[in-house]
Amino acid sequence: MSYQSIKEEAYEANMQLPALGLVLFTFGNVSVVDRKAGVFAIKPSGVPYKLLSPEKMVIVDFDGEVVEGGLRPSSDTKTHAVLYKHWAQIGGIVHTHSTYATAWAQAQRDIPIYGTTHADHLTVDVPCAAPMSDEMIRGNYEHETGFQIMGCLQERKLSYQEVEMILVGNHAPFTWGKTADKAVYNAAVVEEVARMAFLTESIHPGVSRLKDSLIRKHFERKHGPDSYYGQ
């Protein structure tokens, strides 16, 4: 079993990150899960995007152990493993250090919902998880990052199926989705929403958040039972 289809899917999804301007050098990674096989395909560590190929993707299980592949998996692999293990409905995960979303993470701020672009995707502020504790950092850091993400959603009573993006304080965004393509799409969305929120506050410090009626209207026309929003 060579896991060919998830390797190809992971390769294509990883190549979208530089194409969308979401990564520099070797930053960032996408993974794709095969639930039946209990493994995921992820980018190898430290390989430039132009040298990637489907064969170079590394196959890893939900404990973060390499099942197949000649290269070291991405250094963030254990974070992906924790999320796949606990969130049965996700098919792909993305991590980038895209500039604006990372700036909000570094500022340790949620991205406030200021407009309908944000509301089309999410009815709440993009959550920013607290920075990791010293104990977590000294321990199994990447593994603990997964728990930091899950803990933040749990604390705020948010579901991973409704909120498919988060910032990890001091660090950067993580996004996910039913497919790797959706996770990549969400990585682009969080970057754009972060950029718009930054510009909005620059133009008008003290601006108010979007009113509830518009939040509901925009979310429902895209996601509700009577959705009519095309793209």
Q: Which residues are catalytic?
A: 120, 229
The contact mask relative to Zn ion for 77-96 (x = CB under 5 A, - = no) is: --------------------
**Spatial strand order in the sheet of 128-129:** 66-68, 58-61, 39-42, 29-34, 92-95, 173-177, 165-168, 128-129
Site string for Zn ion, 114-153 (x = CB under 5 A): ----------------------------------------
Indicate the residue whose CB is closest to Zn ion.
172
Question: Does residue 168 contact residue 129 with C-beta atoms inside 8 Å?
Answer: yes
Closest CA to 53 of 14, 24, 18: 14
For Zn ion, which is the closer residue by CB, 120 or 191? 191
* Nearest distance from C-beta of residue 95 to Zn ion, angstroms: 6
Taking the least distance from each CB to Zn ion, the nearer of 119 and 172 is 172
Q: Give 166 or 172: the residue with its C-beta nearer to Zn ion.
A: 172
Asked if residue 209 lies in contact with residue 197, where contact means CB atoms within 8 angstroms, the answer is no
Instruction: Check: CB of residue 39 under 8 Å from CB of residue 61.
Output: yes
Question: How far is it, in rounded angstroms, from Cα 129 to Cα 15?
Answer: 27
Closest approach of Zn ion to the CB of residue 214, in Å: 33
**Please, which of residues 163-202 interact with Zn ion by CB under 5 A?**
172
Supply the minimum distance, in Å, between the C-beta of residue 171 and Zn ion.
6
Report the distance separating Cα 131 and Cα 86, nearest Å: 21
The residues of the shown chain that bind Zn ion, judged by CB under 5 A, are: 172
